[in-house]
Structure 1
Amino acid sequence: MLTGPPRLLTSRLLQRDQKEMRVVKVLILTFGTRGDVDPYIALAARLCVEGHEAVVGAPEEFRRDVEACGAGFEPMGTEMLRLVRGSMAEMAGPADSVRLIARMNQAMKASLLEQWRAAQRVEPTLIVAHPKALGGVHIAQRLRIPVVASIPLPFLTPTGDFPVPFISRSLTGPVNRASYHVNRFSAIAYGGMINRFRRQVLGLDRITRFSDYLHTDDGSRLPVLYGFSEHVVPVPADYPGNAHVTGYWHRSGSEWTPPVHLAEFLHSEDPTVYIGFGSMGFGKHAAERGRLIAEAVDRAGIRAVVATGWGGVDLQEASPRILTLDEAPHDHLFPRVSAVVHHGGAGTTAAGLRAGRPTLVAPVLGDQAFWGQRVAALGAGPEPVALRTLTVQVLADRLRQLVVDPQFSRQATAVGERLRQEDGTGTAVRVLENISTEHG
């Protein structure tokens, strides 16, 4: 269980006396949809502001956003994202994701080579690697530079407080800690591919199929950079000093003007709720999900901005209560609505809480139930309801709760105020500076 008040994680690195820091050239390797990539663009932007050099390796569609923030860009994983996106619209449920993995092997191999080519061009002095970027740790070993594993959820560091976030209920302390052996999955599932990459491309020795990749050759732990907030997930007392919880990473100073039709729709005294399930829609149920949302919105007597995602929601009949859009930047849209309903992705949850908006999470898979439980534990919304179990009446009841219950509004506002006072990217930059200096 998550217990006790939030505690800022300190470490030997952060407690060192500040001194002149050399310029760090950081290669950030990440992969996925916007929620996976945007935090790393924010980190890159802050590194550039602080006088460092940053290059982001990510799918091609993020090039414009990366370059707009002053960072360099290297294409990585574009074909993998195309496969995921193309398959998602045809998926009937989470089980199809297993079959998708079998079709991605060639794209994964290509991504490993893209990561290596990017590193050769950039010549970084430090690598920040999301676990989905399988090559980051190995490339850093080849270049003999420090590497920092990074992910915006408490996934990599074993703790007795709660299990790996893919497990939706807490177990006993030792079992919670043991659940983090799931981090060995990459080596077990892709060990052959990784070892061929290590031997044939990087000229390194092979690794065991049971490696957790989070330890260096001498057995010491890799630094881990967590872009989530202690105000949402209190830092466990048994976290070691290599785990740095910095606060959420978001881009400051960016501007967005909503389209005229959206601005006009939002200009109303009636409560308006955002509803969207990101890339978790599973297109074969799109029409059914669209009918459910339309009927629930009408029954609740509210208005809604509905994001259709990758074909995950199909609203076949127009309704004066609903405005549909493909997507919009959450950091800018969420403060303009009364409440939010979503799948519980780490980035979407962060945006809703930071905006101070009551939140309902309807999880589909992965860590989404974990974030839904955290929202409920904070009092910023009701208990999560799995998307597959939502009915018209349940959704209508939850929608009314979100906009009527003053407790949700008060708690969400309080959480939002705390999150907006954080400087997550600034803290992350300090950690990276110190790691670079420690490495010499």
Structure 2
Amino acid sequence: MTKILITAAGSHGDIAPYTGVGARLRAAGHDVALATHDRYATLVRAAGLEFRPLPADPRTHRPADDTAVRTRPADPGSRRTLMRQAAAFIKELGGGLADAARDDTGLLLLSATTAPLGHHLAEAHGIPYLDLPLVPGAPTSDFAPVVSGGRSLGRWGNRAAGRLSLRIIDRLYADASRDLRARLGLPPATPRTVRRRAEAVGRPVLHGFSEVLVPRPTDWRPGLDIVGNWWPWHAPDAQLPPAVEDFLAAGPPPVFVGFGSMAGGEGERLSTIAAAALRRAKLRGILQSGWSGLSTRHTSSDDGLLTIGEVPHALLFPRMSAVVHHCGAGTAAAGVRAGVPTIPVPVTADQPFWAARLTSLGVATTPIPFKELSGDDAVARLSHALTQATTTPAHRTHATTAAHRLATEDGPGKVLKAVERLTV
């Protein structure tokens, strides 16, 4: 038995997949703790894992003009604001990671957000570690960095942009890394130096997404592997709430609409647009409140609509006729897993990348960038996409085919094998 510490920071989609990984490792006999923010303590403990708190909840580290930042990513001022917010978040996170590690920790499993700090912990304590990112981060000629908007820059441009993105990440972690190394008694070393050391020795990195969506780049070094999705844990006997079951039984399969941790404070506007688009397309809908606060109370009529809170996508999505969402990595994969078409409405960060992947796979309509879901044509545009997604047989066929492929993958099993190799 190995005492394993998983560290993950961010929003729900950045945390939940690691509960599935942790539960699989625990079932194999390992002692597993997951360090993350307090708001996810119940989620972690429900999966049978020890919870350890991390500071710097991202929901409290937002600029006052959050909506403007998220909907106008091209604005240089907004980008500078986001960089400052991210650096502050990371600096607070560093001290919490040091507190979460215990003397008996035998292995560190690190998310993309915590890895640049976790590498210092591993060095200080002399313990092995494994990076488990949910998005591709290593430079490649095959596609541009995931935060660049999903558009190819050409093979040379893609790789150059990938290298630049790593330097930007190094800069974001510079202050936190300096403070953490001093606290741990380590000699000074920049994030770039520590990263290049890991690359030089070929440290393994297991990516928690499927090659159905992102085939492994041909120019990645050995050790960078794509192993399949890690699905959030839910109880084997979990069921949808009775109110949801009643709504599903009352009519044809509805459309799911949700924006996860995006679009804070936009609930009234988005609810109004979604309800009107659904009515125009003659479809029922389920609005997931999320951080935006979607709700039927913002609509003129709740006929054919239901508001829900957190519900496992694995249980809900297969019952939908289509899903409308922001295209976070986990939500995008959940839609594919369910075999239902997607209407992508990407907001920021890696979401345009995943939206483009879904469209290229044939399981989604043309993306509607969130910043364009406004104005007089917003309802007409969303309604048209809803009609396309629910009436075009090719979308459903491609979604079903992709779902069958995902069903053959065992991402947590690949992690377990890697853990066993590292802890022999």
Distance 1:92 1:158, change over 3 A: closer
Per-residue CA distance 1:301-327 (angstroms, 9 max, x = gap): 000001121135354233212111233
Q: TM-score, normalised by structure 1?
A: 0.86
* Alignment correspondent of 1:372: 355
**Structure 2 counterparts to residues 193-272 of structure 1, below 5 A:** 193-199=176-182, 201-208=183-190, 211=192, 213-216=194-197, 219-250=200-231, 251=233, 254-272=236-254
Q: Percent identity?
A: 32
**Structure 2 counterparts to residues 302-341 of structure 1, below 5 A:** 302-313=283-294, 315=296, 316-317=298-299, 318-341=301-324
Q: 1:161 deviation in Å?
A: 0.8
Q: Secondary structure at the match of 2:146?
A: coil
**Residue in structure 2 matching 1:277, options 259, 279, 284:** 259
Q: TM-score, normalised by structure 2?
A: 0.89
Query: For residues 417 and 92 of structure 1, what CA distance do their matches in structure 2 show?
Result: 39
Distance 1:62 1:147, change over 3 A: same
Per-residue CA distance 1:208-252 (angstroms, 9 max, x = gap): 36x174333793243211000111211122222211211111237
* Alignment correspondent of 1:50: 28
* Alignment correspondent of 1:16: none
Structure 2: where are the runs of 5+ without partners?
A: none
Q: 1:205 deviation in Å?
A: 1.5
Query: For residues 183 and 56 of structure 1, what CA distance do their matches in structure 2 show?
Result: 26
* Alignment correspondent of 2:128: 146
Q: Secondary structure at the match of 1:414?
A: helix
CA contact (8 A) 1:273 1:337 kept: yes
CA contact (8 A) 2:86 2:172 kept: no
* Alignment correspondent of 2:141: 160
Distance 1:289 1:426, change over 3 A: same
* Alignment correspondent of 1:359: 342
Distance 1:98 1:358, change over 3 A: same
Query: For residues 420 and 347 of structure 2, what CA distance do their matches in structure 1 show?
Result: 37
Query: For residues 27 and 337 of structure 1, what CA distance do their matches in structure 2 show?
Result: 36
Query: For residues 73 and 142 of structure 1, what CA distance do their matches in structure 2 show?
Result: 23
Is structure 2 residue 17 aligned with structure 1 residue 35?
no
**Residue in structure 2 matching 1:135, options 95, 99, 117:** 117
| Greater CA drift, 402-411 or 112-121 | 112-121
Structure 1: where are the runs of 5+ without partners?
A: 1-22
* Alignment correspondent of 1:428: 415
| Greater CA drift, 286-295 or 332-341 | 286-295
Distance 1:89 1:293, change over 3 A: farther
Q: Secondary structure at the match of 1:264?
A: helix
* Alignment correspondent of 1:7: none
CA contact (8 A) 1:80 1:108 kept: no
* Alignment correspondent of 1:412: 399
Distance 1:340 1:89, change over 3 A: farther
Q: Secondary structure at the match of 2:332?
A: helix
CA contact (8 A) 1:42 1:425 kept: yes
Distance 1:88 1:405, change over 3 A: farther
Q: 1:119 deviation in Å?
A: 1.0
Q: Secondary structure at the match of 1:151?
A: coil
**Residue in structure 2 matching 1:73, options 26, 29, 51:** 51
Q: 1:372 deviation in Å?
A: 0.9
CA RMSD of aligned residues (A): 2.3
Q: 1:67 deviation in Å?
A: 2.2
CA contact (8 A) 1:271 1:403 kept: no
Task: Report the count of equivalent residues.
Answer: 408
Q: Secondary structure at the match of 1:236?
A: coil
**Structure 2 counterparts to residues 7-22 of structure 1, below 5 A:** none
**Residue in structure 1 matching 2:331, options 348, 351, 357:** 348
Q: What code does the residue aligned with 1:228 have?
A: F
